[in-house]
Homo-oligomer: A and B are copies of this chain.
Amino acid sequence: MNDSLSPALAALADPTRRAILDRLRAGEASAGTLAAPFDISQPAISRHLKVMTGAGLVTHRRDGTRRMFRLAPHRLAEIDAWLDAYRAVLEANYQRLDALLAKDD
């Protein structure tokens, strides 16, 4: 099995990493910028970025002493494609979810 989903989903299972990814929707950012909002050490963030890179969720390029990270949408698209198989089952539940989110329950 050519399993690129497992590492990607494992990477996304961490709230810090999801927050980093969220930030990257706004565009490229340096490791330092990405680390700033968090209360954990710089090496910890560096590791998170390495995990995300390994999972194919982000890419990076050098810019002087900084390392600029960028969202790599491919893996998210794969997850989306994986969800397609469940789309039929999900469709019956969208209303319920919408209602729940609306009620902020």
Contact = CB atoms under 8 A, between A and B. Distances in A.
Interface of A: 1, 3, 5-7, 9-10, 12-15, 18, 22, 25, 71, 73-74, 76-83, 85-86, 89-90, 92-94, 96-97, 101
Contacts of A76: 83, 86, 89-90
A12 B5 CA distance: 9
B101 A81 contact: yes
28 contacts: A3-B15, A5-B12, A5-B13, A5-B15, A6-B15, A7-B13, A9-B10, A9-B12, A9-B13, A22-B85, A25-B85, A25-B86, A25-B89, A71-B86, A71-B89, A73-B90, A73-B93, A74-B96, A74-B97, A76-B86, A76-B89, A77-B90, A77-B93, A77-B94, A77-B97, A80-B83, A81-B97, A81-B101
